[in-house]
Amino acid sequence: MKSSASKKLNIPDFRFTPTIDKVGVEERVARIQSRSIKKESKVEGMKMALNMIDLTTLEGKDTPGKVKQLCYKAQHLHDHYPDLPTVAAVCVYPSMVKTAKKALGNSGIKVASVSTAFPSGQAPRNIKLDDTKFAVDQGADEIDMVISRGEFLAGNYDFVFDEIAAIKEACGQARLKVILETGELVTLDNVRRASEIAMYAGADFIKTSTGKIQPAATMQVTYTMLMAIKDYYDKTGIMVGMKPAGGISKSKLALHNLIMVKETVGDDWLDNEWFRFGASSLANDILMQLVKQQTGAYQSGDYFSID
């Protein structure tokens, strides 16, 4: 697989990105949401989804103790269902990266960190670069940055491109997820344009939302971003990952997202190297659904820790 740094790209004029057929997108999503999923496929799909989750705590009241508890949960999901995979990553603020890194040890679970003045992105570029470098120096495997939505909406696409490219360089070996904050971009045309800017600037993943703004990861938005990824791959041969985040709390919605991934970009993306869910509460719902499939009865949500 090629990385975004391995090939010189012919950068397009971002003023002229494809126009999105909103009605067509809504019809496509409605067809996916109407699918019924057989029990065996449902169980395998839920395990796959669990392995794609970034367990997340991004609160002003976060403490080392809370982060350690989240890391413990990430490593002990199989206590409920022995053959479960682990989650993909634990996502925290830069100040908590060192704590998470130590708590996760050799588990294989990655540490992701938000940066660039998350969630607003309202800070000078040097602050955003320092934020990113600090997280990487603390041991972050992945960086989730936010784009400057104000600059984007003002039509300053070169500014947004250059900022993402600078953050990508600051990441070093860490993978970069670029958060578009689609709830503030208003239109699917803007979502498509922002997706292209992020990918051509070097994003390893494009991500819908911070989880702080609604609407967040609607299937219409995710489908639009997946189509941008497909077109980018067809043009460049470079894979870019996708991360819907915010509002995905039920396993049924996660399964519909996985169907959409399979049918839009293909099986190669059905792996946590290329697809993630930013949704901590989703893990609990998957656990409850899996236990029901095994025992025939729901367990109370009280049996599972609240993140």
* Sequence-separated contacts (24+) of 32-37 with Cβ below 8 Å: 32/219, 32/256, 32/259, 32/260, 32/263, 33/219, 33/256, 35/256, 35/259, 37/255, 37/259
Q: Sign of the C-alpha dihedral, residues 29, 33, 34, 37?
A: positive
Read off φ and ψ for residue 188, nearest 5 degrees.
-65, -30
* Catalytic-labelled residue, pool 144, 168, 177, 204: 144
* Catalytic-labelled residue, pool 98, 101, 168, 243: 243
Reference 86, options 76, 96, 101; nearest CA is 76
Q: Is 212 a catalytic residue?
A: no
d(CA 10, CA 51): 35
Residues facing residue 90 across a β-bridge? 55, 111
Q: Is 230 a catalytic residue?
A: no
Q: Is 133 a catalytic residue?
A: no
* Catalytic-labelled residue, pool 101, 131, 207, 285: 207
- What tokens does 225 get? 């971003």
> Is the separation of the CB atoms in 55 and 67 below 8 Å?
no
- Residues annotated catalytic, as ranges: 144, 207, 243
